[in-house]
Amino acid sequence: MKLDNLRSVGLVHAALAQTPAVLGHIFTVNCKPLTIQRADPILFPGLISPHVHSVVGGTAFALAETNEQARAANATTCDKTLDNSNYWQPQLYHQRLDGRFELVEMQGIAAYYIDRACDYVPGRQNCNDAPHGRAPPAGLRMIVGNPHLRTYDASNPEQRAISHICLGSGFSHDTPHLPSERCERLRAETYFPSCWDGISLDSPNHKSHMAFPSIGDYNTGVCPPSHPKAILSVFLEFFYDTAAVKNFNRWVWAMGDPTGYGLHGDFINGWTDQQALERAMDTCTGPLGVDDARCSLNVGPNGPGQPSPRWPEVEPPKEEVGLGGPLERLPGDNPVTGAAEGGGKPATYGFCVLHETTTTQQASHLVTHSLASELPPFTALSYVWGDSADTVTASWSGNTVSMTRNLSAILQCLTSSSASEPMLLVWIDALCINQADLGERAEQSQAHGPDLLPRGSLDVLSHVCQYPSTRGQLSALPSWVPDWTATVDETFHHYYSERTRRMALSDGSMGLEAEWQRLGDGRVSTKAMIIGHIKTTALGIPDFKS
């Protein structure tokens, strides 16, 4: 699939308005995936890399690949058959609500070669009328970005050179961090430095032989005296298929980065014809682009080729990286460090999903907790049964979200409760379901009976917005519930019974816990979930406004 007509081309052309001499000087290499493995022949030659990378380009890629081996590759996944270079970024994963990590498919990349920097000349203030940059020299190896970063410094040009684009129906949003909204596709972008010291093809830290322009910005301008030679900028866009990812605040890069600030890119120059690459700016950037018959990158009778997936010549390390299904840990056992941008603040308050079981011993291991940052994009944000069309708009942690009127009222009740008087919830597992998932809705209805589902907001609110009673203590709690006293309030109508019954906990000192207790009334029975320690000071719902 051709990626030449993407938004970045428009941005590149717009930014070149100040340099008419090089307007349009851009060509694109499109590549399909080659391999996903823990290899990084630049930073960890011959060794297993600490984290997984997604790699495209020449089939010679291996743990200890040299530039000479790259040029001698048997084939490439890219459409420009002269390009045996390798381009790679960390692999993207999605952390599921059960804690496991599933690999997100990388569909392919666009590698742009752009003429936007110019040589250092004393007194030069811009690149107007300056000769275009030289091609990346044969043997060049370089990296951009820092996998250990979890914070953002907008004054650092290297950090500005890293970005994420959330692509949806009719929109594209650019952020330095991983997006905090649902995306049909995610584009991870890395812009390599364009100024070379003119001597070294690599350096001990794999960065110091390269630099960003000193006059201009990270992606355009005059090179500094220390790195006076301008080369064509290499700009990578990796495309990930994120349409199926519902929990959009749970993306994580392979090094355990949920922020996105640690995104980085690597490049090994493997072009097989350096002279053809040098001529490309003059022959492949006219009105016809790479389709021009004079384009030096076109070899063979059919003009530009087509990107195609291939297998590396050297077998990758034998390790499961997620291609076979979700993983318990990120490969390399990288812990997730840092907090996703736009997510809720960690707190003891959480939403819960209960699973069908027959014993309380099993139930204690099947309760999963979800904070606000982990909520999937329901038709409306709701973990109580209600009409998803009956929605209101509310502010959640500074973000505007849509939720059912039920949930809005519940959250308002919780945030306005007295901190000195614990608020306790009785939550039924049948209510904690994705109401946008008709299959799940039908399954819950079948398991509990259609008459067991509450029909309106008032039924729900009358049970969750109440303080615990001290009457009617209930005995025989399961042993895994630590020192809690349950009560039954005989004056309250229970969802599932014609009799009057309510269940709550009177001690909120143990943090968020959950318990299932079968409530029989002679006609039906169900399972109730008990949540304790719901206090204004521990809600994790800052600035809630309905």
Task: Kindly report, residue by residue over 190-228, the tens digit of the pLDDT.
Answer: 999 999 999 999 999 999 999 999 999 999 999 999 999
442 lies in some domain: yes
pLDDT at 443: 53
Residues 265 and 365 in one domain: no
Q: How many CB atoms lie within 10 A of CB 274?
A: 16
Task: State whether residue 8 is helix, strand or coil.
Answer: helix
- Name the amino acid, one letter, at 491: T
pLDDT digits (tens, 9 = 90+) for 488-530: 222 222 222 222 222 222 222 222 222 223 222 222 222 233 3
Contacts (Cβ under 8 Å, ≥6 apart) of 486: 473, 474, 477, 503, 504, 505, 506, 515, 517, 530
How far CA 428 is from CA of 12, 507, 508, 516, 528, in Å, comes to: 54, 19, 19, 9, 5
Contacts of residue 183, defined as CB under 8 A and 6 or more positions apart, other chains included, come to 166, 167, 168, 242, 243, 245, 248
Give me the residues paired with residue 393 across strands: 402
**Residue 486 φ/ψ region, left for φ over 0, alpha for ψ in the -120 to 50 degree band, beta for the rest:** beta
Q: Which domain holds residue 482?
A: 351-538
Per DSSP bridges, beta strands 516-520 and 86-90 are unpaired
- The reply to whether 543 falls in a domain is no
Least confident of 50-64, 397-411, 440-454, 456-470: 456-470
338 confidence band (pLDDT: 50, 70, 90): confident
The answer to whether residue 451 sits within a structural domain is yes
Q: Does the residue 394 lie in any domain?
A: yes
> Is residue 338 domain-resident?
no
**Closest by CA position to 48, among listed 238, 425, 316:** 316
Q: Mean pLDDT, to the nearest integer, of 27-55?
A: 97
Together in a domain, 220 and 360: no
Tell which wins on pLDDT, 511 or 115. 115
What pLDDT is attached to residue 488? Answer: 28
Q: Is 123 exposed, middle or buried (0-12, 13-18, 19+ CB in 10 A)?
A: exposed
Q: What integer pLDDT is reported at residue 97 of this predicted model?
A: 76
For residues 326 and 527, the model is more confident at: 326
SS3 197: coil
Considering the domain architecture, whether residues 443 and 524 belong to the same structural domain is answered as yes
So what's the pLDDT on residue 293?
86
Residues 461 and 377 in one domain: yes
Q: Any idea what DSSP says for residue 276?
A: H
What's the confidence (pLDDT) of residue 398?
A: 54
What pLDDT does 290 receive? Answer: 85
pLDDT of res. 408: 58
- Assess whether pLDDT exceeds 50 at residue 81: yes
The answer to whether position 127 is within a domain reads yes
Q: Which of 223, 256, 291 is the last residue of a domain?
A: 291
Do 282 and 410 have their domain in common? no
Domain count of the fold of the chain: 2
Claim to verify: residue 410 and residue 285 sit in the same structural domain: no
* 286 and 359 housed in the same domain: no
Give the pLDDT confidence of 132-174 residue by residue, as tens digits. 899 999 999 999 999 999 999 999 999 999 999 999 888 889 9
Whether residues 226 and 358 share a domain: the answer is no
**Is pLDDT above 50 for 424?**
no
Q: Give the end of a domain, one of 272, 291, 310.
A: 291
Instruction: Give me the pLDDT at residue 462, please.
Output: 33
Asked whether residue 277 falls in the same domain as residue 409, the answer is no
Q: Which of 108-122, 210-224, 385-399, 512-526 has the lowest mean pLDDT?
A: 512-526
Is 316 inside a domain boundary? no
What gap in Å lies between CA 189 and CA 144, rounded to an integer? Answer: 11
What does the chain come to in residues?
A: 546
The answer on pLDDT for 366 being more than 90 is no
Q: What is the CA radius of gyration of the chain?
A: 29
Q: What is the mean pLDDT of the chain?
A: 69
Q: What is the 8-class DSSP label of residue 105?
A: P
Residue 270: strand, helix, or coil: coil
| Between residues 243 and 55, the one the model is more confident about | 55
* Within-domain flag for 302: no
Q: Would you say the pTM of this structure is higher than 0.85?
A: no
